[in-house]
Homo-oligomer: A and B are copies of this chain.
Amino acid sequence: MYRTHNCGELRMEHAEQQVNLAGWVQRTREFGGMTFVDLRDRYGITQLVFNQETDKELCDRAGKLGREFVIQAKGKVMERSNKNPNLPTGDVELIVSELNILNASKTPPFTVEDDTDGGEDVRMKYRFLDLRRPQVQQNIMLRHRIAQEVRKYLDSQGFLEIETPYLIRSTPEGARDFVVPSRMNPGQFYALPQSPQTFKQLLMVAGYDRYFQIVRCFRDEDLRADRQPEFTQIDCEMTFVEQEDILNTFENMMRHIMKYVHNIEIDKVPRMTYADAMRLYGSDKPDIRFGMTFVELNDVAQNQGFKVFDDAELVVGICAEGCASYTRKQLDGLTDFVKRPQIGAKGLVYVKCNEDGTFKSSVDKFFNQEQLKTWADKMGAKAGDLLLVISGVKEKARKQLNELRLEIGNQLGLRKKDDYKFLWVLDFPLLEWAEEDERWVARHHPFTSPKAEDFDKMDTDPGEVRANAYDMVLNGTEIGGGSVRIHDRGLQERVFELLGMPEEESVEKFGFLMGAFEYGAPPHAGLAFGFDRLCSLLGGADAIRDFIAFPKNNSGRDVMIDAPSKIDAIQYEELCIKSVVPEKEEV
């Protein structure tokens, strides 16, 4: 037996006991004829003590242990004279009588500590060392905990975890599929699933009633920062339910997770329509940790001679509480912020609500004190507040003001990572116009049902048709979304038609699903959560790759194992494919 206890386990109650520990050498130090070794494993750190006087040879060997050596130490647990209150094991130490080096270690290329000296590239190449850092270990353990609690909750609610295939059929629509040449069926390919959508719907048709899976999904996209070619979803579907049932069930799932992972009780999750979210926050994923909602000012700010406003479709502002004291420099900073190309505003109007009841604005030439007061009143501003106003085409102005609102929220410290505010956003549009392709595309996916009361707009005004679709938002990030599905072949055909998919193509790609709808398909609905993102938010971090054991970089490479890589000639031959890489691109 390598160990009787782990390195986070020993307490005063173990004093005088003979124990074996095994772990990694975090550091060694010599002091007053003694050698101290911090021995580390996943569970904690325990101090080992070697005494020059008691056993010189042993003490000398301990002194020569390098960082990250793997050792086994046997000895007696003793109360420490100088206890370390910062360490759970800090009341005791192990007086070592036997030391075995289980494996040596070269000097690591970076320090295995939270505050490491290693850059991203070297840490990814030596990911097995990076994964030893306590913060990363906590992330991975948090992910484990969340996964277990998700399953525990869903199992308790009668959901069945059912595995769906990873080798499926390529039906590119939206993102690109990863494909897998089939050796047994030359000239044909499997695809890796972008999601198990059609399979979970078939499971509902098959009567499984409640399904879930924590499942890998694949998308061959050009990777933006913090996107991974493979990612994990909590995928769920329910039968004989309406939207209300879904909202309650999964709100309770979040409640369960927050309670059992973070010991936080969350309130009833508020709900907001997509239309309201856009109007009040300029975003379909509002961060409701703070207010500062939009106020539309067209009626009080237009037709008073300021051409910029008069020509705008929308004049809209936010009230930044207590920010009237912002300096010229700070205000210029905000203007520069919204004028950045990524945001693209033409300018920013400010109004300071001075403590003395007067106003100082960047548009004093056009608006008098009384006029500015009507703005302030409309926005519920009080002395000391700062009004920030943007104008332009409605959709753009809202997006720009959304960015500004979030920036101010950051500046004022209103977006605390451990303040968890969930929100349901409802009634999304069914379709959105794809400029490039000049056609309607499904905003969620083509299996989403339109709202019955909007059926008549499908012919006349498709952009106005709302869907039975919902997103769950946490702190301004979409963490999940879904819809009530279509379960009627006729309606499904109608939607494919709206999306400009020729009947031949829809039958070729989704005939199996539409066929299934003809054999007693029940009403069903579901949703999926982005598991990587959920973990990172609940872990208080931004980057999802900090919560993935072996992530890929922005070129889709795993630099540790050096994948992807070339394959053998025999593999090409057996798969009946040939590489046709333009020479300059050959890597």
Residue positions of A touching B, CB distance < 8 A:
1-3, 6, 22, 24, 40-43, 68-70, 102-106, 108, 126-129, 131-132, 137, 140-141, 143-144, 147-148, 151, 155, 160-170, 172, 176-192, 198-199, 202-203, 205-209, 216, 218, 220, 222-223, 229-230, 232, 240-242, 245, 487-488, 512, 516-523, 548-550, 552, 555-558, 560-568, 571, 574-582, 585-587
Contacts and interface: CB of A to CB of B under 8 A. Distances in A.
A519 B179 contact: no
A187 B581 contact: yes
Given A137-B207, A208-B131, A556-B182, A520 B162 contact: no
A223 B172 CA distance: 28
Nearest to A515: B126
Across the A-B interface, give the 9 residue pairs with the lowest CB-CB distance, nearest first: A131-B206, A105-B520, A169-B563, A188-B564, A2-B240, A68-B520, A182-B564, A187-B581, A186-B581
A549 B164 contact: yes
A526 to B, nearest CB: 15
A228 to B, nearest CB: 9
A176 B143 CA distance: 32
Contact of A2 (B241, B517, B566, B586): B241
Contacts of A516: 128
Given A205-B128, A516-B128, A144 B161 contact: yes
Given A132-B207, A578-B580, 18 more contacts: A1-B245, A2-B240, A6-B209, A22-B522, A102-B523, A128-B203, A128-B206, A128-B516, A131-B206, A148-B151, A165-B550, A167-B552, A170-B571, A183-B220, A186-B581, A186-B582, A188-B565, A576-B582
A327 B250 CA distance: 67
Contacts of A560: 202, 512
A566 B187 contact: yes
A393 B508 CA distance: 57
A43 B165 CA distance: 25
Contacts of A209: 6, 41-43
A380 to B, nearest CB: 40
A170 B567 CA distance: 7
Interface of A, secondary structure class, is loop
Contacts of A229: 167
Contact of A155 (B148, B177, B566, B576): B148
B169 A565 contact: yes
A164 B521 CA distance: 36
A559 to B, nearest CB: 10
A564 B166 contact: no
Contacts of A220: 183-184
A170 B24 contact: no
A189 B564 contact: yes
A160 B42 CA distance: 11
Given A1-B245, A187-B585, A206-B132, A169 B558 contact: yes
10 contacts: A24-B520, A41-B207, A151-B151, A165-B550, A167-B178, A168-B563, A178-B180, A187-B579, A187-B585, A203-B549
B187 A586 contact: yes
Contacts of A561: 168-169, 198, 512
A167 B555 CA distance: 13
Given A103-B521, A184-B555, A208-B42, A585 B576 contact: yes
A283 to B, nearest CB: 30
